[in-house]
Structure 1
């Protein structure tokens, strides 16, 4: 092969072939970059989760109540009886002359509806969410849950977890490679932990044994984490929530050497934390995670710097909770609706059957093309091999996950790649029968076939994009492999084979109708 006889089409094809081989080999020897096997091929866990979107509304109301309390203290707007009643907040503004100031502050809180009544020199406010804000909060609850769960699983070290939304309020989680019971329990705990951190002042002035009694004082009762029978009476709303956490690390306390989580707050959270601890020295501050009181230390002095710690029972619990806090709290609790385990034997069986289908289909196509089209069929087969290398290589580079439907997509693209060469070879045959010289017939065959090949591939590519955009789980796997296969076949079946014919003609090889499976 001399440099003068090379053409740009052949050079691109050879480079593509070398690229495909180089990045395919790691997948077969277990090194990176490689194609990851999906849940249906290597086994693991399949979970369907439901998001309690109504709880997101309650959490949003609590956050707004905390904001109102902080604003009133900072701006010296004296309020009383700040309470949460389901999806509404009520409070009394003591001095009606401050009404304009309060209204201006409330305007900065998005998505709320304000009702007020002036009575006996005071202003009574009722705050609720607008219908648009309720819908937005529910929608965001699911979106944020998907992002948070994905972040937690990535931080936990799981390879290629799939977290996708299903319907209005469901999430599908696929975890390849999770097999042992301990792994399953840790993952379920990590996913389901809301990690909703809140700080409450303990109400040490009143006593209450039931939620109804606590409500009279505007308080709530929450159980102790280590002793569920012990109930803490806490002032509402919370003074701080976990949305202001920027980092959470695992360590041990200095005095008792107990496992603990050390958390850091953002600038706003640090300011609120400093103000609250400074004004409540000698009082107890409860650290609450997911409606359980982890600890309630006495505030000894103002705590600046925006950091704190949560004592936990074991290093394993600390690790899981730290990841959850670091990744962000779930805006609404999730519940496990369905759980399935795919065994390794099923995965191995799926791989074996898929490989049999892929190899047998490939071999039959290769033999048929060589028998029916002669040299033209062999050239098409070379392009087909390169096409397979490119599909695997591109998937490996982008860390894509190969699923059972994905393997079906590869089988489909094998047929589509050959189909392009069938169209080209038939157009060349037609021109040879019409009396055109071989060189002109080859050029004309590629030119005449181009529009039909492009139309077929572009429409299929659009379908693949639609499947990826609106499909879930394994459907996406099928769409990815099909899209990659289509683009690769455009390169190999059109550009590559054309370059080979140009090289053979430039080399002086005598091409006859027999080379296209025709009688001389």
Structure 2
């Protein structure tokens, strides 16, 4: 044990670590390396985000805020409506102008135009150009986060959700194969899950959208009967951004599947105030512009909770996940869908393994033939390097893609590159007549700067590929980066420790052990 040096101890521990966390991947147990879409098959989607709808939703939310503020502060307004992405309303008493301006000043990103009338003021509120651009950009970012959250909540392993271009999102779902799974996932992703609560306008009998707009109303279809239209007062009194939780259950009276939602403190207060002031009227629960139900308000509803009845438990499950994860700021449309079959994945794995094994064998044989003992020691380091790549990926739950396997194949060659440089430096010193022990120490010292420069520059490239590349490029970057770091440990520290151990054990090292002719 006294002959063991710290370099060799670290190398042995790294080898044991690599073996311990590599074996589960081959046995199919956790922690294991997850296979990407191109290796195990699955679903590939390209989605487009309707950014203009995000602006409309933003305007509607601001309109709801103005309505709530005016009622709370007793600022009497009339004809509040949303038209051409603008909010129009009339402040009945121009003596409330300062109070109204003070409240509107708390809303960020809006332009306010005022038109004085006989004793009243007409307000026209619109978004500033920079706020419009920010809303569009946020729509993409929030859509990516929301879709990823929904897929995680659904229980999918390693879904990939990445932005592509200005207004597109790429979704890769390994392991999705059955048609039922595909339809459920598409419904989960595409559902805006935009919950809104509207007061029903039972005072008018209107069937034309244009006529409804004159009174600041809208017509929305019934979820279960598309031919039935509901006349609703705009803006909505509440929206889904205030939901904190949504769970699946069954109603007590009819035992129908239902979603029970909970609102945050602000939403609970608004919900309580609205229901308290509108007892005897109907409150429509609207999800994605469809009226799910419109119960009569029997009394003030406190506590900030409610329920939505749905058709089936599966629908309830998907909608509950969507509501919990947050509504999409703008609708998404399916632009492209591809299915990658398991057979293609199996072919990719087989061909990649052939390339990996053949490349590995050729490198191992060449090193052993050309550098003799030094080559064999380099080969030992190469084997440990492969174990470390797989084990680290398994430990962090990384996904192995086809480009990732290409990165491993490339790493096989790069892993021995450091030892080639070191061995050549040692051979140069031996030719100059330097004793073997000093030649080995000098070889590692002289080669260090060249090895560090090469590996650091390659590592920087890998980081850049990971930061700016798409999903498949990221897989290549990950395996290459792990391989570089592992090779620096094994090829520099590990092989140096082995040489030091052999010398301390009294083994006679000759120039032949470095492939030199004496």
Q: TM-score, normalised by structure 2?
A: 0.99
- The aligned runs of 1:23-422 (5 Å cut-off) are 23-422=21-420
Please give the alpha-carbon distance, in whole angstroms, between the structure 2 residues aligned to 1:309 and 1:36: 38
Residue 505, structure 1, aligned to residue 503, structure 2: yes
| Alignment equivalent of 1:494, drawn from 480, 492, 495 | 492
Q: Which runs of 5+ in 1 are unaligned?
A: none
Displacement after TM superposition at 1:123 (Å): 1.5
Please give the alpha-carbon distance, in whole angstroms, between the structure 1 residues aligned to 2:143 and 2:494: 46
Displacement after TM superposition at 1:4 (Å): 1.2
Displacement after TM superposition at 1:146 (Å): 0.5
- The aligned runs of 1:424-435 (5 Å cut-off) are 424-435=422-433
Please give the alpha-carbon distance, in whole angstroms, between the structure 2 residues aligned to 1:256 and 1:127: 45
Number of residue-to-residue matches in the alignment: 518
Please give the alpha-carbon distance, in whole angstroms, between the structure 2 residues aligned to 1:391 and 1:128: 55
Displacement after TM superposition at 1:335 (Å): 0.4
Displacement after TM superposition at 1:150 (Å): 0.6
Deviations 1:60-96 (A, max 9, x none): 0000000000011111111111110121101111111
- The aligned runs of 1:455-474 (5 Å cut-off) are 455-474=453-472
Please give the alpha-carbon distance, in whole angstroms, between the structure 1 residues aligned to 2:313 and 2:87: 39
Displacement after TM superposition at 1:501 (Å): 0.6
Displacement after TM superposition at 1:413 (Å): 1.0
Deviations 1:115-152 (A, max 9, x none): 11222111111111111111111111111111111111
* Matched residue SS, 1:4: coil
Please give the alpha-carbon distance, in whole angstroms, between the structure 1 residues aligned to 2:66 and 2:505: 83
Please give the alpha-carbon distance, in whole angstroms, between the structure 2 residues aligned to 1:34 and 1:156: 21
Structure 1 vs Structure 2 CA RMSD: 0.6
Please give the alpha-carbon distance, in whole angstroms, between the structure 2 residues aligned to 1:108 and 1:420: 62
Displacement after TM superposition at 1:104 (Å): 1.1
Please give the alpha-carbon distance, in whole angstroms, between the structure 1 residues aligned to 2:411 and 2:108: 51
Please give the alpha-carbon distance, in whole angstroms, between the structure 2 residues aligned to 1:464 and 1:113: 46
* Matched residue SS, 2:227: coil
Please give the alpha-carbon distance, in whole angstroms, between the structure 2 residues aligned to 1:352 and 1:133: 52
Please give the alpha-carbon distance, in whole angstroms, between the structure 1 residues aligned to 2:84 and 2:290: 20
Please give the alpha-carbon distance, in whole angstroms, between the structure 2 residues aligned to 1:71 and 1:513: 88
* Matched residue SS, 2:299: coil
Q: TM-score, normalised by structure 1?
A: 0.99
Please give the alpha-carbon distance, in whole angstroms, between the structure 1 residues aligned to 2:446 and 2:373: 20
* Matched residue SS, 2:236: coil
Please give the alpha-carbon distance, in whole angstroms, between the structure 2 residues aligned to 1:495 and 1:284: 75
| Alignment equivalent of 1:442, drawn from 440, 443, 451 | 440
* Matched residue SS, 1:198: strand
Deviations 1:7-54 (A, max 9, x none): 111111111111110011110101111000000000000000000011
Please give the alpha-carbon distance, in whole angstroms, between the structure 2 residues aligned to 1:212 and 1:268: 33
Displacement after TM superposition at 1:343 (Å): 0.4
